[in-house]
Amino acid sequence: MKLFLKIWRQKNSQSKGRIVDYEIDEISPDMSFLEMMDVLNERIIEEDGDPVAFDHDCREGICGSCSMFINGEPHGPDKLITTCQLHMRRFRDGDTIYIEPFRARAFPIIKDLVVDRTAFDRIQQSGGFISINTSGNTLDANTIPIEKENADKAFDAATCIGCGACVASCKNSSAMLFVSAKVSQFSLLPQGKVEATDRVLNMVNQMDDEGFGNCTNTGACHVECPKGISLDYIAKLNREYVKANLKK
């Protein structure tokens, strides 16, 4: 396959970036998108150029590191996958592919396609946990009975890998889907209910402090989420936030 790539290049967070054109051929349709980027970088390095910086780690759709905005969508045109699970057979010979970083004020660009997503870490640190002693005192897993429906919902919420596709796809750069998943995965379980009030208040406050936009319920986040996190969690977050404010 021969492809025409339009890739966002930016030296560092301070510099001004621009789209740079690349032509690449002999790309196998069986390559993953990240392998195609590897091949491109090898060729750039052979020509003494500066390789394109991009995030990747597990390359099996678990870690949420890869963060490219491909042809107008986070993680590319396929649904329920991350960039590392996108394969070149999804494109046609001669296609032009736009490759950009996830764009949001709260996700400043570090270099090229690498963005700083530590805003998510700070939101997690503000309340995305349960305060229990994990050293010793190990209890049986089923000591506390949990309704199947709630257990399933909590598990679904916990599948969020924090990749930031929700922010990248949202026209407002809202992080509401991420925060709603993280709040819900704990608040649905008995162990997480104890700190539910403080958790939702602190996490929403931190989300707002980070400079994410406001949710306007377009639903883009749910459609583009590689784990298919439901908008239901945003409605749940709204309910929990109001309840927490009434308690405080």
Partner 1 sequence: MKNIFKSSIGRKIAMALSGVFLIVFLTQHFIINITSVFSEDIFNMLSHFMGNNPLVQFILQPILIAGVLFHFVMGFVLEWQNRKARPVTYAMYKGSRNSMFVSRNMIISGIVILSFLVLHFYDFWVPEMDYKYIQVKPEDPNRYYEELIHKFESPIRVSLYCLSFIFLGLHLVHGLSSSTQSLGTNNKYASTIQKISYAFGIGIPLGFCFIALYHFFIHF
Q: How far is the CB of 230 from partner 1 (least distance, A)?
A: 7
Residue 167 or 189: which CB sits closer to partner 1?
167
**Which one, 23 or 30, has the nearer CB to partner 1?**
23
CB of 211 to partner 1, least distance (A): 6
Binding site for partner 1 (CB under 8 A): 6, 8, 17, 19, 69, 71-73, 77, 98, 100, 103-106, 169, 171-174, 176, 204-205, 207-208, 211-220, 223-224, 230-232, 234-239, 241-242, 245-246, 248
Residues, the chain: 248
Q: How far is the CB of 60 from partner 1 (least distance, A)?
A: 24
Reading the block at residue 136, the tokens are 């010793």
Q: Please name which of 130, 122, 131 lies closest in space to residue 175, comparing C-alpha atoms.
A: 122
**Minimal distance in Å, beta carbon 197 to partner 1?**
12
Q: How far is the CB of 12 from partner 1 (least distance, A)?
A: 15
Please write down the HEC assignment for all residues of 64-111: CCCCEEECCEECCCCCCCCHHHCEHHHCCCCCEEEEEECCECCECEEE
Nearer to partner 1, 45 or 235 (CB): 235
Nearer to partner 1, 186 or 241 (CB): 241
22-32 burial, b at 16+ Cβ within 10 Å, e below that, comes to: bebeebeeebb
Reduced 3-state DSSP string for 188-246: CCHHHHCCHHHHHHHHHHHHHHCCCCCCCCCCHHHHHCCCCCCCHHHHHHHHHHHHHHH
**Residue closer to partner 1, measured from CB, 28 or 205:** 205
